[in-house]
Amino acid sequence: MSTENVAAPGFGSDTGDRGRRFLRSLMSTGTIFVLLLILWVWITILNPTFAEPGPFLAYLKRSAPLVILAAGAYFVLVSGNFDLSVGSLVTVIVVVAARLIDGDPSNTWPVIILLLLIGVVVGFVNGFISTVLRVPSFITTLGMLLILNGAVFLWTGGAPRGALADNFRSIGRQGINGIPWIEQLPWSVILLFVIGGASVLLMRSDFGRQLIATGDNERAARLSGVRVDRVRIMAFVLSGTLAAVAGILLAGFGGVSAQVGQGLEFDAITACVLGGVVLGGGRGSVVAAMAGALTLEALFTWLNLQGISGALEDTVQGVIIIAAVSFASYRLRGAR
C-alpha cells in the first residue's frame, strides 16, 4: 500500500523471509517515517546546511537522549503499562552525578556504574509494585515521580550541588575525532545506534515476543506459559536503565539543574504514540517509536527555524502533536 515507505533510508536491505516480515511491519506503522522525511526535507529547504553531515550529526546528537528514552518508554508501553517516572529519574541521575563526582575525574567511572544501578533499581521497584502488588503502573510511577523528586532534593538540600568532571561531560559532548567527511562522530550518536540496534534485536528475540503478547492479551500470554510479571518487570528495568543513560548524556549537554528532566516522560510517551505505539499495549514497533522521537526533535528544530516566539511554541507544538497523532491513527485504520 504505502509506497512512500520504500524511501525510508537504511531499511529493506535485509533479505529473505525475515526481511519481508520486517518490511511489512514497517509499512503498518510507516506513517511516521513519511512524516519524519517530510520534516527533514522541509527543514533542509528552510536551512540547506541541515542536510550536511556536521549539522545533521548535531541534530542526531541532540535527539539521542529522547530517542533512548522513547525506546525505554516503548518497552513499558507495549507491555501495557506507563512509566511517568523517567523525567524525574533523569533529574535524579544528573543531580546525583554532580554531587558524587564533585569535579573529580577519577570518580567518573564508579559513579556511572552507580547511576546505571540506580536506574535498574528504580525500574525494578516500579515493576515489582506494578505487577506483584497489582498497583496500576500509572499510580506506581506517579508516586515514584514524587518520591524521586523529593528524595534527591532532600539529599542535596533543595538545590543541585557539586560539579561534573570533564571526562563525565565528554560522553555527551565529545566523540571520535578525525573521521574523514564527518570530522567527529559523537559518542551519543554511537550510543543511539547501539541502543537502537540492541532494542530491535531484543524485540525480535523471545523476550520481545513475550512482551508484545503480554501487552496484547495478558491472560492468553499467561496461559501460553509466558511469565507475565517477570517480562513486565524487565520492561520497567529497561526503561529505568535507559533513562539513566539518557540522564548521563543530558548531563553532558547542559548544566546541572533541577529542571533537566522536567516533562521528558511526556515527550517520550508522545514520541512512542507518534510512532504508532498503542497505549494499553500490544501494538507498535520500537523502530517507529524511536523514529517518533526523531520526528519530535525535528519538530522542535522546525519550530525554531520558523521563528515562532517562545511563548506560542507550546501552542504550536500541542496542535501539531494532536494533528500528527490523528493523522497516524487515521492511516493505521486505513491500513487495516
Partner 1 sequence: MTVVDPPEQSAGSRAASRSERVAGWRVGVLASPAAPVYGALIGIFILSWIVVTIKGGEFLTVPNIVNMLQRSVALGIVAVGQTVVILLGSLDLSVAQLISLASLLTATTMDGKEANVVPAIALVLALGVGVGLVNGLIITKLRVNAFIATLGTALVISGFIQNRWDGPAQGVTNSFSQDLGYTRFGVIPLSFFLLAVIVVVVWFILRNTRFGYRIYAVGGSEDVSKLSGLRTHRAIIAGHVLCSLTAVITGLFLASRLGAGTPTVGTDGGYDLESIAAVVLGGTALTGGRGGVIGTIGGVFILAVLDNTFNQLELNAFLKDVVRGIIIIAAVAVYARRQEKKA
Which CB, 82 or 168, lies closer to partner 1? 82
DSSP, collapsed to helix, strand or coil, labels residue 177 as strand
User: What minimum distance in Å lies between the beta carbon of 139 and partner 1?
Assistant: 5
Which CB, 50 or 236, lies closer to partner 1? 236
User: What minimum distance in Å lies between the beta carbon of 301 and partner 1?
Assistant: 17
Query: What nine digits make up the cell of 279?
Result: 497505549
User: What minimum distance in Å lies between the beta carbon of 317 and partner 1?
Assistant: 5
Q: Which of 51, 64, 90, 70 has its CA nearest to residue 186? A: 64
Which CB, 152 or 165, lies closer to partner 1? 152
User: What minimum distance in Å lies between the beta carbon of 138 and partner 1?
Assistant: 6
d(CA 101, CA 165): 7
Q: Which residues bind partner 1 (CB under 8 A)?
A: 84, 129, 133-136, 138-140, 142-147, 149-151, 153-154, 158, 266, 269-270, 273, 278-279, 309-319, 321-322, 325-326, 329-330, 333
Contact 196, 10 (CB under 8 A): no
Contact 92, 148 (CB under 8 A): yes
Which CB, 149 or 239, lies closer to partner 1? 149
d(CA 188, CA 250): 10
Q: Would you give the DSSP letter of residue 179?
A: E
Query: What nine digits make up the cell of 55?
Result: 549539522
Which CB, 108 or 141, lies closer to partner 1? 141
Show Cβ contacts of residue 249 under 8 Å, excluding neighbours closer than 6 positions: 64, 65, 68, 171, 172, 188, 191
Which CB, 103 or 136, lies closer to partner 1? 136
Q: How many residues does the chain have?
A: 336
d(CA 94, CA 259): 10
User: What minimum distance in Å lies between the beta carbon of 94 and partner 1?
Assistant: 16
User: What minimum distance in Å lies between the beta carbon of 115 and partner 1?
Assistant: 20
